[in-house]
Structure 1
Amino acid sequence: MTSRERIDALLAAEGIVLTRVAPAVALPQARIAATTALDSGYLDGMDWITAAWLSRSTDATQFLRGARSVILVALPYHSPDPAPPGDGVTRGRIARYARGRDYHRVFEKALRRVAKQIRQEFDAGARPTVDYGPLLERSYAATAGLGWLGKSTML
């Protein structure tokens, strides 16, 4: 079993079956696009996002020194539409991703367990993060082939 196959197996054991790998390199185009958004005021109200933060967040080796790869994962959040309450009252709809447990916590717990296994089995550094962390994960996900960045900046 290759290291990639083993890591995929560890992730699959956590219910994460969509994985891709990107090289841990700086992404200058992502930094330029994000800096342009910052300078244009599109990120107003997100005071933690500074030019220095963007420079670090678009270089995975700043996130984990010596990193060679960024493992990107996706977790399905599909849930069936809930049955109407039957009382005749019309109610608003709740987005599917918001119906279950907080995906940040679900992902973070699973990724911490996998990172621990990676450190133990491969004697390698591993630092998990979710989309609120200090890495522009969407840009790395696009680089890895998980999708593409739309005009909305969503993957």
Structure 2
Amino acid sequence: MPDDKLRITQSLEKMAREEGFAAFGIAPAALAPVTAKRLRDWLSGGQHGDMIWMESRADERASPENLWPEARSVIMLGMSYAPARDPFALEKIPDRGRISVYAQGKDYHDVVKKALKRIARWLVDQVDCEVKVFVDTAPVMEKPLAEAAGLGWQGKHTNLVSQGHGSWLFLGAIYTTLELEASTGGQDRCGSCSACQDICPTNAFPEPYRLDAKACISYLTIESKGPIPLQYRKAIGNHIYGCDDCLAVCPWNKFAESAAANKAFLPRAELAAPALADLLAMDDAGFRQIFSGSPIKRSGRNRMVRNSLIAAGNSGDVSLVPSVTALLDDEDSVVRGSAIWALSQLDSTQFDREKEGRMSKERDTDVLLEWESGQPNAPAAR
């Protein structure tokens, strides 16, 4: 039997490579108790923000056996999306929006899950067992599991770091009732490096290995539905969907090969360097057309326009004033409020003119607050 399980593991790894996965390992279906404690401490501190789903299914998330008691092993796989170009390339081009590397190509959920299902189907055909496949859509702690499976370690930015692939791995999990021999777990190799902590524009790391999601640009631009807090707006710069700063500065990235060979993750031209003027002009149909097949589509038009307005306010580009002003009439109150702030940053004279004519007609409390607190060059978060 041990030989049979070894053969199965070797065949799984071979198939994983053929499916485009760059990293493979086996974790036990029981995470160390310290993992559950860290999760509880993080949630009790409110650092998950509005991500209530993490709180409501915390027990299932804490360990695979809590989610599926029959599970005996977890097959962990990583698919590289290492970028072919510098993620900081648009940092000094303020009229363009910066989209996180992972979201510039096809939706990784679809790409990774299809590959996982093919591997899982093969396993069921070979052995009498059951399987469940997960890609970032269930209460699964992929990063601790990946560390337990030897794919790497959770770095100080809380993401997985790999010696061979840096901070650029999409993770997928196959839970199975088959008991396989676990791989040797990953070892922390961050050492004294603090690059990921130092680069964060919003100081989202209260300490190494701990993220305050409420201050994270990825959370603010993707998960948060309401107005972006004033203290973070300037620091966001031209990030309009996610943020790669802490990932991109990781020294281990120098060992990662570009994912250019994986055509699914090649950046689409319209997502690699989108013009803020075009994004501000989007209606819902235009949004769905531009972001079809992208994970961005889930966020919806209003959130993307909100983010683009913050970037416009930070751009210093007065040619965007007409586009920003037009959004003062948007049906969505968060968009209107963001347009007010953007206008206050770009043209104080126009801001005063619009404020005089619009405040008496506005009925939304949050939007009125934006008019009342609108100040040119509001202070940044740091």
4+ runs deviating over 6 angstroms: none
More helix as a share of residues: 2
Structure 1 pair 115–63 and aligned structure 2 pair: CA distance change class (3 A): farther
Instruction: Report the Cα offset of residue 26 of structure 1.
Output: 3.7
Who is 1:61 aligned against?
Answer: 65
**Identical pairs, percent:** 32
Contact 1:79 1:99 (C-alpha < 8 Å) held by counterparts:
no
Who is 2:149 aligned against?
Answer: 144
Count how many residue pairs are aligned between Structure 1 and Structure 2. 150
TM-score (normalised: structure 1): 0.84
Structure 1 pair 76–55 and aligned structure 2 pair: CA distance change class (3 A): same
Instruction: Report the Cα offset of residue 96 of structure 1.
Output: 2.6
TM-score (normalised: structure 2): 0.36
Aligned pairs for 1:1-155 within 5 A:
2-50=7-55, 53-81=57-85, 91-155=96-160
Instruction: Report the Cα offset of residue 92 of structure 1.
Output: 4.2
> In terms of Rg, which structure is larger?
2
Alignment RMSD (CA, Å): 2.5
User: Take 1:65 and 1:119, find their aligned partners in 2: how far apart are those partners?
Assistant: 18
Instruction: Report the Cα offset of residue 37 of structure 1.
Output: 0.7
Instruction: Report the Cα offset of residue 72 of structure 1.
Output: 0.9
Q: Look up the equivalent residue of 1:4 and give its one-letter code.
A: T
Question: What SS class does the counterpart of residue 52 from structure 2 fall into?
Answer: coil
User: Take 1:120 and 1:62, find their aligned partners in 2: how far apart are those partners?
Assistant: 26
Structure 1 pair 109–123 and aligned structure 2 pair: CA distance change class (3 A): same
Question: What SS class does the counterpart of residue 152 from structure 2 fall into?
Answer: coil
In the TM superposition, what whole-angstrom CA distance separates every residue of 1:6-46 from its partner, at most 9, and x where no partner exists?
Answer: 11122122111310111111431111101111100101201
Q: Look up the equivalent residue of 1:37 and give its one-letter code.
A: W
Instruction: Report the Cα offset of residue 93 of structure 1.
Output: 4.3
Question: What SS class does the counterpart of residue 127 from structure 1 fall into?
Answer: strand
Q: Look up the equivalent residue of 1:67 and give its one-letter code.
A: A
User: Take 1:66 and 1:54, find their aligned partners in 2: how far apart are those partners?
Assistant: 19
User: Take 1:26 and 1:17, find their aligned partners in 2: how far apart are those partners?
Assistant: 23
Contact 2:54 2:139 (C-alpha < 8 Å) held by counterparts:
no
Q: Look up the equivalent residue of 1:55 and give its one-letter code.
A: D
User: Take 2:9 and 2:151, find their aligned partners in 1: how far apart are those partners?
Assistant: 16
Structure 2: gaps (5+ residues) = 1-5, 161-382
Structure 1 pair 151–78 and aligned structure 2 pair: CA distance change class (3 A): closer
Question: What SS class does the counterpart of residue 155 from structure 2 fall into?
Answer: coil
